[in-house]
Structure 1
Amino acid sequence: MDDEIADEQRLTTREAAERLGVKPETVYAYVSRGQLASRREPAGRGSTFDAKEVDALVRRGRREPPAGGDAFQRIRTGITLIDADRYYFRGVDATDLARRFHYEEIADWLWTGTLRTGIRFDAPAESLAAARRSVGALPAHSGSTERLRVAAIAGAAVDPLRFDLSRDAVLGTARALIPTLVDSLPAVGPPRDGDGRLARRLWSRLTARPAGEAGIRALDMALSLLIDHDLAASTLAVRVAASARAHPYAVVSAGLGALDGPLHGAASGLAHRMLTEVLERGSAAAVVADHLRTGRRVPGLGHRLYPGQDPRAEALFTVLGELPDAGPVLAAAREVEATTARHVPLHANVDLALAVLSVTTGMPAEAGETVFAVARTAGWIAHALEEYEERPLRMRPSGEYHGPRPPQPLP
């Protein structure tokens, strides 16, 4: 009798989906994120779900603030946790992932929950051709983020299936979009289109110097470490766009637009110029003093989410030490950190580590921004996949009006 009661309390996938008000595939997404537990039934019913657990998830959803409420303060996510000077992708230490696996492997695992070693991302010929034509039409002085935005728009224009927001379709778009962004950038070294990992292909877009295995490893590590970092400004823009059911290309364009701001994506370029000046003048003290004298903060130091060391910087510094010419640049970065620490206990952040990479390898000052944008595209897609499963248009805050009270006369 107890077994019969237990069976009555279990729901099929379709019943659970109806009770939750979602599609059946979304039910399995809840399972993959640990929000629901499923059980395979030997009698051929497929997966079943505990009715009480489903009802509890329904109640949690009802407590979510309505449109116009404080939705921006309560965005549930199962992607990144930042805790005690460490950060984790789906509960796994992100720096350990970056040491063990390549960028494409981590990105695909973050999207699907399945690790496929050796996976490659390749750009469709038509999308890549359109992106290259569009990027090639830009002025020579165009920035890398501008080129990436144009490439994303061009890729969307030739993809008639871009409005298909089913999970498999979005995953296919993601695996094609990221290599399209990379391979559409103009090459400054021998192009490596379709040749192995994205890090190797991106290298030829950033510097004419030979890569070497140590260089590719450092660039791949940087891409892997930067895939996601919770709800940064660009990621929040992505989730707003996804909430409005923008397609993945438009979602990535929203992220790139926010990243183009000087307070978000450009920080590594400032650190690059600072390190170059330290090397030219032979003194970090003089350069730090000049920054402070003019009221500028010293770039590449401190992070409001890490009271101690930025784990991304420390992980990247380790592999940068393997580059043949990195010694003087690493020493300059450490001298900047030590000089500033005399009065303010600030540690190097990932922007300073990116600057060490770009200065050491002869990349331009904006190279760190390019690496950041390409890397973060994978995280933006992960957040879009989450947001597509939520109630649409839930991120609609109400403005607090401070204008003149009506009625007012016509102007």
Structure 2
Amino acid sequence: MSGLDDVIAAETRLSEVDGLNGRLVICGHSLESLVGQKSFEAVLTMLLPDLLSSSEEAVRAELAQARLRAFREVARLDTDLVSLSVTEALRVLMARLPDGEDKLVALLQIAAPAVFVPALIRAKARKKPIPPHIGRSHAADMLAMLTGDLPGDEQIKALDTYLVTVSDHGLNASTFTARVVASTRAGYASAVLAALGALKGPLHGGAPGPVLDMLDAVATPDNATAWLAGEISRGERLMGFGHRIYRVRDPRADELKSALKRLGAAGGMDANRLALAEAVERAALAALRAAKPDRVLETNVEFFTALLLEALGFPRDAFTGVFAAGRVGGWVAHAHEQIATGRLIRPQSVYVGPKAA
């Protein structure tokens, strides 16, 4: 029972993770059919059809208004809060939002990370936070609040691809946490806050940043094979490779790699950085197959997430917060589904302690 492997804990219409075949299905659509075809707002209409408006345009407008409401909390940033990590400060700001099980609370929870993360990044750099703009898409506004400039189409499409790609992914640790809390009828905000706490762990959403540390250490493509072999011989984990569910390549990795190539130099993707990453990926896969032939350790979502978010201007200590900005749609959808169709989640345990005297 360790890790609850193979235990069915919920029935859901939201997403299916087919680990054997490397497929992710969100609301009846393959990830491949969503990326580039559906915006983050459109995916939200699929995840929450009976809570949010049915049209992409309406959700875009409602989410924009929710971003404005979230920005009111930015005025309460103080020195102590800014001194925290982006993830810890994000948790504090999210905890200040109202709770409940209604549409306005749901929209505010979905909107807030996209507002708070750029504001915290700027505040930590001693820059003034930038307010949201109601005429922009969620991805475009998040980038504009980060840099102060109107992003190009390449950057908007790249971030939107990321938000769609990570919007939901079965019953992962943070989503399961959200469902457990929602089952108590604590409210969407409580469910999201608990999920964010689970996401920050290095075995979940806290993992993409170290991918860049690895690339920095390798430095050049020629060093990749020797450096990676040394890490494996010391028993170190190669960040960005292997997944608990996928027995083949993580389909999200392919979509993000394609997004990086579409982003190109015009969108901020350094060609040398991408070439280094591709060399490290090839060397890592070869080294892992040789060292651990009995295990399937393919490229996962973290590897190209790190490169994409770096190219878009997000510092690596903010990657978990950007992850939350995409996954929060799934968290709210699972909380909503649990409230509507589930009951209090209360599993049993097997006592293995000392017998009573």
**Contact in 1 for aligned 2:66/2:107 (Cα 8 Å):** no
Query: In the alignment, is residue 93 of structure 1 matched against residue 44 of structure 2?
Result: no
Structure 2 gaps, min length 5? 290-296
- Partner residue of 2:294? none
Among 185, 188, 199, which residue is 2:139 paired with?
199
- Partner residue of 1:296? 236
Among 21, 29, 46, which residue is 1:109 paired with?
46
Note the aligned Cα RMSD (angstroms).
2.7
Q: Describe the SS at the equivalent of 2:24.
A: strand
Structural mapping, 1:254-269, within 5 Å: 254-269=194-209
- Partner residue of 1:335? 279
Deviation track 1:287-335 (CA, whole Å, cap 9, x = no partner) reads 3234324421111112232222211111111121122134222222221
Q: Describe the SS at the equivalent of 1:385.
A: helix
Higher helix residue share = 2
Measured in 1, the distance between the counterparts of 2:273 and 2:55 equals 36
Structure 1 gaps, min length 5? 1-69, 157-161
Measured in 2, the distance between the counterparts of 1:281 and 1:141 equals 36
Cα gap change, 1:94/1:341 in structure 2, threshold over 3 Å: closer, same or farther? Answer: closer
Structure with bigger RCO (C-alpha 8 Å, 6+ apart): 2
- Partner residue of 2:112? 180
Please report the TM-score for the alignment, with normalisation by the length of structure 1. Answer: 0.72
- Partner residue of 1:373? 324
Task: List structure 1 segments (4+ residues) > 4 angstroms apart after TM superposition.
Answer: 123-127, 204-210
Measured in 2, the distance between the counterparts of 1:178 and 1:359 equals 23
Structural mapping, 1:5-404, within 5 Å: 73-83=8-18, 84-112=21-49, 116-118=55-57, 119-120=59-60, 121-124=63-66, 127-128=69-70, 131-156=73-98, 162-163=99-100, 165=101, 169=102, 171-185=103-117, 186=119, 188=122, 191=130, 193-195=132-134, 196-204=136-144, 211-279=151-219, 283-322=223-262, 323-324=264-265, 325-345=269-289, 346-393=297-344, 395-404=345-354
Q: Describe the SS at the equivalent of 1:358.
A: helix
Q: Describe the SS at the equivalent of 2:56.
A: coil
Matched AA of 2:92: V
Q: Describe the SS at the equivalent of 1:255.
A: helix
**Contact in 1 for aligned 2:130/2:148 (Cα 8 Å):** no
Measured in 2, the distance between the counterparts of 1:282 and 1:359 equals 22
Q: What is the Cα deviation at residue 406 of structure 1?
A: 2.2
Deviation track 1:53-106 (CA, whole Å, cap 9, x = no partner) reads xxxxxxxxxxxxxxxxx9963311111112221111121112311211111221
| Bigger Rg over Cα | 1
Please report the TM-score for the alignment, with normalisation by the length of structure 2. Answer: 0.82
Cα gap change, 1:291/1:191 in structure 2, threshold over 3 Å: closer, same or farther? Answer: farther
State, as a whole percentage, how many aligned pairs show the same letter: 30
